[in-house]
Chain A
Amino acid sequence: MKLRRLFMLLAFFSLAYARPAAAQLDPFEFEVYPVKTVGRGMLEVESLNSVVINGSRHGEKGTSKGTLPSQSMWRTAIEVTYGLTDRIEAAAYLNLAKPRGGDLQYAGSKFRLRGSLFDPGELPVDLGWYVELAYARTPKFDDQKLELELRPILQRDVGDFSFIFSPKFEKILVGSEEKEGWEFGYVSGIYYRWLRAFTPGIEFYGAIGMMKHPDPTREQQHYIFPVVRGEWRGLEYSVGPGFGLTHGSDRVIMKFNLGLEKYIGALFGPSTNPLY
């Protein structure tokens, strides 16, 4: 009986004082979105893929948001995007993951809207926005059930270079951390528009943890991806290795995203308002 009480006390204190999981980024989406949205009436189908080449052997470490370790984890997000107006697109994602030694399995869903404000070149810095709801019922891959993500997107083109910066604000709506505040992270990229089929760039992804009490720098996740992207015969691609810069990051990740887009017809006429 005493042993049972002791166990219950230990369980209570471990729950009461449990810290939220370390800073997390979205490992299903290593993609930097520009301000420009998919064209009005366009349908785009993308496959966002990554594999952790050198990661963690424990759950909730590195890019793992669940109980399974990140090492050798293969992740694929199938993303379908439609251009609602000249400035707003809607997208749905199906997340799939294949852990080491396991099968490819469902790992969650996401829905998002993304938009641009004003036309490109209207402002000194082009502005956009991003709102996403992520839904998961798979604690192996993500131990939170519903998450909201908000991002402003800032872009500036200077000559042949494009600079994109997008701070991320995330809030768990349903899950064990729903009482916690907002998490902060970032997605960023610099690209040199050399050839349409070959645009080199550098991308940055990071998560610092809760805004009120960021994780120690060592436990945060920060990645740098030298990438090449472009379009060849209608097929868009973005490929590159990612290197973790902190102890809390996976060491090496490889990403390769592919996409096809086709005009299927517009639901609405041309945008006359700079906001939508």
Chain B
Amino acid sequence: MKYLILALNLMLVFAGGVAAGTPTDDVVELRFENRKFIPQTLNVPANRPFKIKVVNASKEAIEFESFKVNREKVIGPGETATINIPALKPGSYDFYDDFHRDVPEGTIVAK
């Protein structure tokens, strides 16, 4: 049982550090409608966490996904989701709708 208590305490210690890891309030908005992301390029500051507010204005569910950023989220039709993105090194990071691979990919550009 002491291992269980130790593990739970470790979780609490990590959870206690929320302030240190909380993303900033920087939010960029991304819409999905007519089978495309608008805008297709998101320009964000490098080395600083931020959030993407994804609005699914289409009539189909989508899955916002970025392999390199390690984020994926199912967003139902008419729903909005906010996704935490960690601080990114300068560069380009693809994102896509994993349910509709024919939809043009978008890019996050961190600089």
A125 to B11, CA, bound (A): 9
- The answer to whether B61 touches A154, judged by C-beta atoms less than 8 angstroms apart, is no
In this complex, what residue of A is CB-closest to B12? A127
B interface residues, how many (CB within 8 angstroms): 37
CB <8 Å contact, A39 and B7: no
A122 at the interface (CB under 8 A from B): yes
Q: Count A-side interface residues using an 8 Å CB cutoff.
A: 36
Given contacts A41-B61, A150-B4, A182-B1, contact A123 B17 (CB under 8 A): yes
Which residues from chain A sit less than 8 Å from chain B, CB to CB? 36, 39-42, 83, 86, 117, 119-125, 127, 150, 152, 154, 157, 159-160, 162, 167, 169, 181-182, 184, 193, 196, 211, 263, 265-266, 269-270
B binding-site residues for A, Cβ under 8 Å: 1-4, 7-8, 10-11, 14-15, 17-18, 20-23, 49, 61, 63, 67-68, 70-76, 79, 81-86, 89, 99
- Give the docked Cα–Cα distance between A266 and B61 (Å): 10
Question: Are B76 and A152 in touch, CB under 8 angstroms?
Answer: no
Closest to A233 in B: B101
Do B61 and A121 have beta carbons less than 8 Å apart?
Answer: no
12 A-B residue pairings within 8 Å (CB atoms): A40-B76, A41-B74, A117-B15, A120-B71, A121-B86, A123-B17, A123-B18, A157-B70, A193-B70, A266-B76, A269-B79, A270-B76
Q: Which residues of A contact B49 (CB under 8 A)?
A: 121
Q: Are A39 and B8 in contact (CB under 8 A)?
A: no
- In whole angstroms, how far apart are the Cα atoms of A123 and B84 in the complex? 10
Query: 12 new A-B pairs (CB below 8 Å) besides A123-B14, A182-B1?
Result: A36-B72, A40-B76, A41-B61, A41-B74, A86-B73, A119-B82, A123-B18, A152-B8, A184-B3, A263-B74, A270-B75, A270-B79
